[in-house]
Amino acid sequence: SSFTSSFFHLKFLEEMTMVPSLALVLISLPLASAKSGVMSIMGKELGYCSQPGTAMTGFTRDGKCGDVGPADAGAHHVCIQMKSDFCTVTGQPNWCTTRTFPCMGKAGQCSIGNWCVCQWAFARYLERAGGCDSIVDLVCDATNMAAFEAYSRSNRPEHVAALECIKKKCGFVNDGAEVESQVEGEVDVVKGIILDSNMTCGGSGKEKDNDSQACKA
Contact (CB, 8 A) for 158 and 126 = yes
* pLDDT tens digits, 57-72: 999 999 999 998 888 8
Q: Mean pLDDT over residues 161-173, rounded?
A: 91
Residues 6 or more apart in contact with residue 99 via CB below 8 angstroms: 112, 217
Residues 6 or more apart in contact with residue 98 via CB below 8 angstroms: none
Q: What is the pTM of this model?
A: 0.67
Q: Mean pLDDT over residues 125-142, rounded?
A: 92
Helix residue ranges, H only, 100-215: 119-129, 145-153, 157-169, 182-191
* pLDDT tens digits, 191-201: 443 344 344 34
Residue of 111, 87, 114 lying closest to 101 (CA atoms) = 111
| Cα distance between residue 199 and residue 77, in whole Å | 10
The DSSP symbol for 93 reads -
How far apart, in Å, do the first and last CA atoms of the chain sit? 76
Average pLDDT value over all residues in the chain:
74
| Cα distance between residue 202 and residue 64, in whole Å | 18
Q: What is the pLDDT of residue 94?
A: 92
Contact (CB, 8 A) for 137 and 39 = no
Residue of 119, 110, 132, 121 lying closest to 53 (CA atoms) = 110
Residues pairing with 144 in the sheet: 40
Q: Mean pLDDT over residues 78-98, rounded?
A: 94
**C-alpha distances out from residue 39 to 44, 105, 172, 188, 192, Å:** 5, 23, 16, 12, 12
The DSSP symbol for 92 reads -
Is 30's pLDDT higher than 50? no
Helix (H, G, I), strand (E, B) or coil at 80: strand
Q: Residues of the chain with pLDDT > 90: what percent?
A: 55
* pLDDT tens digits, 90-113: 999 999 999 999 999 999 999 999
Is 204's pLDDT higher than 90? no
Confidence of residue 173 (pLDDT cuts 50, 70, 90): low
